[in-house]
Structure 1
Amino acid sequence: MKYINSLFSLVLVISLTGACVNAAYAANADSVAKHVSKHVYKKAETASKKLLHKVHKKQKIRHSTSNQEEKNSSFKK
């Protein structure tokens, strides 16, 4: 659930910043829009990498516990 909230927050931030970039383009401020879009892209990329790292870490923990449970069950037999 925590990851879903984080992902939703990330999508919301990207949407809002995308709206800001569109507004900057509409105001004929190309240099500002380019700077903002680069900044937004870097932030979104960093946030998605962190989120994926958390998910993979969680999956590894689940996988290792399931392997341990299998070893324990086979040992008991």
Structure 2
Amino acid sequence: MIHFNKKLLLGAIFMSLTFTGCNEILDEQPRSIYTVDYFSTADGVNQSFTSLYRQLRLLYGNGYFMSNCQKRNG
């Protein structure tokens, strides 16, 4: 029982030291900064919609084609 408690205590100490958060890791740096003029042009709006559609495709993938393959005839 004492051997089990030592392992548990050492595991808890190891996890508390390993999984503590650091401010440097948790702070997010912006990948890009949009200005007010970015959305005032048609090109900027088109680029923003293109990036939205790209993210949706990554999220949903080719789900339409996958669901067609799973349907059974009959």
Q: Per the shorter chain, which TM-score range? A: 0.3 to 0.5
| Greater length-normalized contact order (CA 8 Å, ≥ 6 residues apart) | 1
Rg (Cα) greater in structure: 2
Tell me which protein shows more helix as a share of its residues: 1
